[in-house]
Chain A
Amino acid sequence: QFVLTQPPSASGTPGQRVTISCSGGSSNIGSKAVNWYQQLPGAAPKLLIHSNNQRPSGVPDRFSGSKLGTSASLAISGLQSEDEADYYCTTWDDRLKAWVFGGGTKLTVL
């Protein structure tokens, strides 16, 4: 059971815009910044978005993050075949004193 809730799957066609949601509670998303990771098949996770909407150097601006209340979203515009991966949201939970993850969303590019 994961503290943060993500849809297990999402899909889109090349060029489309897709969004992945992440919902939590007051002790995590409601009071802490959200981060997003991309995990390509067979690879280690890669930080995609930190502090709700900040892209590390090298991450294309096709990827964007937002947060409202106890929910967050990752948006991918201009979808490309290489975006096919698993995406995870995470943040710190002040009550649990722990990193908490969503269960991950498998993105398929049709």
Chain B
Amino acid sequence: EVQLLESGGGLVQPGGSLKLSCAASGFTFINYAMSWVRQAPGKGLEWVSAISGSGGTTYYAGAVKGRFTISRDNSKNTLYLQMNSLRVEDTAIYYCVKDLYWGSGSGSDWGQGTLVTVSS
């Protein structure tokens, strides 16, 4: 059974930093691209970033490019999202997503999400 467990969310001041982690199990982690998708309170889904299975290719949404960094440690089956220069509009639930196919937008499995609140 695929399990994705996010952690690292919390309350941070504007301009601050936070690092999210996603511990994966139940599948061969290195074989799958992974993504982060967020959802602001009461709003729709917004893709944040994606990383290939090897970690060699990454993509970012325009809203976070230059501020967020996606990475993975395949030896630890863990996905990360380093978030710097956080803004109020980054407040959202952040979901870790296992991609069915690379570059397809098809997330076959989602974590339960971790809440990031950016506020002074």
Contact = CB atoms under 8 A, between A and B. Distances in A.
Interface of A: 2, 32-33, 35, 37, 39, 44-47, 50-51, 56, 86, 88, 90-92, 96-104
B97 to A, nearest CB: 9
B51 interface: no
A50 B95 contact: no
12 contacts: A35-B104, A45-B45, A45-B95, A47-B106, A47-B108, A50-B106, A88-B44, A88-B45, A91-B105, A98-B59, A99-B35, A103-B44
Contact of A50 (B35, B46, B60, B108): B108
Interface residues of B, number: 25
Contacts of A104: 44-45
A56 B108 contact: yes
Chain A CB count within 10 A is highest, among B44, B46, B60, for B44
A47 B35 CA distance: 14
A100 B110 contact: no
B110 A46 contact: yes
B110 to A, nearest CB: 4
A103 B35 CA distance: 19
A37 B113 contact: no
Given A50-B100, A50-B106, A92-B103, A37 B111 contact: no
B106 to A, nearest CB: 4
A99 B44 contact: no
B37 interface: yes
Interface in B73-115: 95, 100-101, 103-113
Contacts of A45: 37, 45, 95, 107, 110
A109 B27 CA distance: 36
Contact of A98 (B61, B95, B109, B112): B61
Given A44-B113, A98-B47, A90 B105 contact: yes
B44 A101 contact: yes
